[in-house]
Amino acid sequence: MEKPVELSDFLRTRRARLQPEDVGLVAYGARRRVPGLRREELAQLAGVSVTYYTRLEQGQSLNASDEVLDALARALRLSPDEHAHLRNIARPGRARPRPADRFERARTGTRQLIGAMREVPAVVVGHRNEVLAWNPLGHALLAGHLDPAAPDHRGERPNLSRMLFLDPHTRELYRGWEEEARANVAYLRLSAGRHPDDRELAALVGELSMNSPEFAALWARHPVNDCLFGSKALHHPVVGRLDLAFEAMPLPEGGGHRMLLYSAAPGSADEAALRLLAGAAAGAPAVAAGPDCGITVDGWELPGSSVNR
């Protein structure tokens, strides 16, 4: 990813989303050739010269001070994640290239931890959204159609972003696919700023841009968000409708490894459905036939052969 182009495009998209009246400026003239703030208006708000800001946006100045970047972040009303992203892409010399052939793995302790979480779907991912490890329930929840051992094999390792945009099974899994797609691209943008010399990440972005018009359109908008928590609205092929809470926990080894955890509200049908799925993933489901051809799990009656319809 060319760093001057990345910085230029990011600043332009953030200028375009603000109108003069949004920031207390008077808009003179009825017609504006470009949407959003003009360069001179943003320069005025940030307290820098128009010439300097123009050079910065054109990628001709790659050593902006913290004070200038902070002023631009305030003027553009950037979120904390966007502010951090601006600093990353404005300082390209700080990053160190990563070996292209490095095959990252989750730590043994991390694998043991997620293995002990029998009723909690857990997935360990790297900064490219590649799956480093998952427990049986995490695999069953997100990718039951794939080989459980795939994360341990080069060339077969799943990638959550690739699955989301290119795998029909994964697209059908998310009831709110568009929202999930926006969040996924926003995280990849943030990761690209943190790892600007990662050739594998650049190759992934290129692959998705070529093969998914939806990814390409979202990527061009420069969304930035760390997406550390939220909710997931799913329609699982085995247990049907699921509404789960989601947490992404950074892991201590660094390098952008995260543990993705999913949970259901206590006492809910979603929790019962997760228990059913956990039993199936373990190969010994604690399932009994209920009345009217339903399914009973720990006292919950779940109708039909696919629960939570």
**Cβ(138)–Cβ(123) below 8 Å:** yes
Question: Which helix (H) or strand (E) segment is 302 a member of?
Answer: strand 300-302
Please enumerate in sequence order all residues whose Cβ is within 8 A of that of 99, keeping only pairs 6 or more positions apart, or say none: none
Q: Tell me how far apart the alpha carbons of residues 213 and 196 are, in angstroms, rounded to a whole number.
A: 23
Query: Amino acid letter at 115?
Result: G
Q: Cα separations (Å) of 124 from 7, 182, 221, 260?
A: 30, 21, 28, 6
The candidate with the shortest Cα–Cα distance to 43, out of 7, 76, 88, 89, is 76
At residue 217, the pLDDT reads 96
Query: DSSP code of 47?
Result: T
Q: What is the pLDDT of residues 232-255, one digit of tens each?
A: 999 999 999 999 999 999 998 777
Residues written for the chain: 309
Q: What is the pLDDT of residues 98-157, one digit of tens each?
A: 555 577 889 999 999 999 999 999 999 999 999 999 999 999 999 999 999 999 998 899
Token pair listed for 93: 């010399």
Q: Tell me how far apart the alpha carbons of residues 190 and 129 are, in angstroms, rounded to a whole number.
A: 12
At residue 238, the pLDDT reads 94
Q: Tell me how far apart the alpha carbons of residues 199 and 238 are, in angstroms, rounded to a whole number.
A: 37
Query: DSSP code of 156?
Result: T
Please enumerate in sequence order all residues whose Cβ is within 8 A of that of 268, keeping only pairs 6 or more positions apart, or say none: none
Enter the pTM of the model: 0.82
At residue 167, the pLDDT reads 97
pLDDT at 212 > cutoff 70: yes
The candidate with the shortest Cα–Cα distance to 126, out of 146, 145, 144, 110, is 110
Please enumerate in sequence order all residues whose Cβ is within 8 A of that of 37, keeping only pairs 6 or more positions apart, or say none: 15, 16, 18, 19, 20, 23, 25, 45
- A 10 A CB-CB count for 80 gives 11
The C-alpha angle 217, 220, 223, rounded to 5 degrees, equals: 100
